[in-house]
């Protein structure tokens, strides 16, 4: 049993606390706002009740899980923690303030971690006296249900600490992947074309939202098309992630945000949470039917898939993660039907490269440039034949 600290009682914080407690660790959940803590506790009680009703856990286990979590506004309660995971607002100044305070409370052996999805671990840890004790532990929402956790050592993180932190999260029955401290890590980087290229296809007038979504789900076996998924995530959140990655990559055109999504965000058409996004979710709304043209659908799917595979190859080329971890991340972090690198072997890397070359020649834009590693692999295959 470990003593786990979680900072921030929002959706991610309470989810991480639940995962830790369900694996029989003592948990201290800290938030400076008592009202937020009270809501988090009520939400957790409701969640556990549903699990009991569905016979996923016993009433005894539910009581035990709740008893393992201490809800407090006092940071001093973290003094005996073995691992502290921060899950607060994505603001570097706020994180610096919190980690400076936490380091003075916890023991020298305590691992400090951030659940950040967009900020660099090197930057967050720069305020610490001992930055080698910190790394990223990035859960996906909802944390109790999503299997993937990205483990992100910073440039100063000790190797021993990385191994220890990964071992703890592995013991929580999560699928961990090791990732270099680069913008978007694996999932939020590699997934950008799923949204960006779909938006581009729409903006070119090739197909409407429903037809693009149909192409992706019908031919690719994805559970949701890009526009349905963006409405589910929220156009404000999805746009901000794209914009953050774009800026972090020094405005690389591969990650260029879309004016269509920006206008939806500005207009308050955020998706399900506002009742309207790319689709209308209000009562009595008329559903839009896709144009089920097989030739058009295959063209749309192949274009988006080629862009996704190209991005996965770039992550491998730049040694962001291993081939296995890149595929694992996309399967378990965003529920892709297959790993993208595995998918490229299945459909033929030559076909992927030809699609990209065709797009690059047509548009002359760097967003379509084929990755060198992809080109090398095709060359090797051709030489082997």
Q: Which of 23, 114, 117, 125 is catalytic?
A: 117
Give 91's contacts (C-beta < 8 A, 6+ positions apart): none
DSSP 250: T
Q: Which of 138, 197, 264, 302 is catalytic?
A: 138
What's the CA gap between 98 and 84, in Å, rounded?
11
Read off the pTM: 0.95
Question: What pLDDT score was predicted for residue 189?
Answer: 97
Give 19's contacts (C-beta < 8 A, 6+ positions apart): 139, 143, 144, 172, 174
Q: Three-class SS string for 117-163?
A: CCCCHHHHHCCCCCHHHEEEEEECCCCCCCCEEEEEECCCCCHHHHH
Residue 323 burial (C-beta neighbours within 10 Å; 0-12, 13-18, 19+): middle
Question: What pLDDT score was predicted for residue 385?
Answer: 66
Q: Do domains 3-178 and 189-384 have the same CATH topology?
A: no
Question: What pLDDT score was predicted for residue 379?
Answer: 95
What's the CA gap between 380 and 385, in Å, rounded?
9
Domain edges within the chain: 3-178, 189-384
Q: Which of 120, 188, 238, 371 is catalytic?
A: 188
What's the CA gap between 192 and 180, in Å, rounded?
18
What's the CA gap between 143 and 21, in Å, rounded?
12
Give 253's contacts (C-beta < 8 A, 6+ positions apart): 365, 366, 367
Give the alpha-carbon dihedral of 168, 173, 175, 179, to 10 degrees: -10
Angle at 235 between CA 232 and CA 240, to 5 degrees: 125
Residue 150 falls in the annotated catalytic set: yes
Q: Which of 23, 62, 115, 150 is catalytic?
A: 150
Q: Let me know how long the chain is.
A: 385
Question: What pLDDT score was predicted for residue 118?
Answer: 86
Q: Which residues pair with 184 in a beta bridge?
A: none
Q: In Å, what is the CA distance from 321 to each residue of 114, 176, 238? A: 19, 12, 23
CATH fold for the domain made of 3-178? Rossmann fold (3.40.50)
H/E run at residue 301: helix 294-317
Mean pLDDT by 10 residues, the chain (385 residues): 95 97 98 97 97 96 97 97 96 96 96 95 97 98 96 97 98 98 97 98 98 98 97 95 94 96 98 96 92 98 98 98 98 97 97 98 97 96 83
What's the CA gap between 102 and 96, in Å, rounded?
10
Residue 117 falls in the annotated catalytic set: yes
What's the CA gap between 225 and 11, in Å, rounded?
25
Angle at 339 between CA 247 and CA 303, to 5 degrees: 65
Top-tier CATH class for 189-384: mainly alpha
Residue 188 falls in the annotated catalytic set: yes
> If we measure between CA atoms, which residue out of 36, 63, 33 comes closest to residue 49?
63
């Amino acid at each position: 049993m470990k003593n786990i600290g979680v900072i921030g009682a929002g959706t991610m914080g309470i989810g991480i606390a639940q995962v830790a407690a369900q694996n029989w660790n003592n948990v201290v959940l800290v938030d400076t706002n008592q009202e937020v803590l009270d809501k988090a506790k009520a939400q957790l009680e409701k969640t556990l009740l549903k699990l009991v009703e569905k016979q996923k856990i016993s009433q005894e286990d539910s009581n035990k899980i709740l008893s393992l979590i201490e809800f407090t506004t006092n940071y001093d309660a973290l003094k005996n923690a073995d691992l502290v995971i921060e899950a607060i607002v994505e603001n570097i100044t706020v994180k610096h303030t919190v980690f400076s305070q936490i380091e003075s409370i916890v023991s020298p052996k305590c691992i400090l971690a951030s659940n950040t999805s967009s900020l660099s671990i090197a930057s967050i840890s720069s305020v610490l006296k001992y930055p080698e004790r910190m790394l990223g532990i990035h859960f996906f929402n909802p944390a109790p249900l999503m299997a993937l956790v990205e483990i992100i050592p910073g440039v100063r993180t000790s190797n021993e600490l990385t191994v220890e932190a990964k071992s703890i999260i592995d013991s929580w029955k999560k699928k961990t992947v090791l990732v270099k401290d680069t913008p978007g890590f694996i999932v939020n980087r590699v997934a950008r074309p799923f949204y960006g290229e779909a938006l581009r296809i729409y903006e070119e007038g090739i197909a409407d939202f429903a037809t693009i979504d149909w192409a992706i789900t019908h031919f690719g076996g994805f559970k949701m098309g890009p526009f349905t998924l963006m409405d589910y995530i929220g156009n404000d959140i999805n746009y901000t992630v794209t914009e953050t990655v774009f800026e972090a990559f020094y405005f690389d055109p591969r990650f260029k945000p879309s004016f269509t999504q920006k206008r939806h965000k500005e207009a308050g058409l955020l998706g399900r949470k506002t009742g309207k996004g790319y689709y209308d979710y209000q009562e009595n709304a008329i559903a839009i039917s896709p144009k089920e043209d097989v030739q058009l659908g295959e063209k749309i799917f192949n274009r988006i898939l080629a862009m996704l595979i190209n991005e996965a190859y770039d992550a491998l080329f730049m040694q962001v993660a291993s081939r296995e971890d890149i595929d694992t991340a996309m399967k378990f972090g965003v529920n892709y039907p297959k790993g993208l690198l595995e998918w490229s072997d299945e459909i033929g890397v030559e076909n992927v490269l030809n699609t990209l070359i065709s797009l690059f020649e047509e548009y002359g834009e760097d967003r379509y440039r084929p990755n060198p590693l992809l080109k090398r692999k095709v060359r090797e295959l051709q030489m082997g034949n």
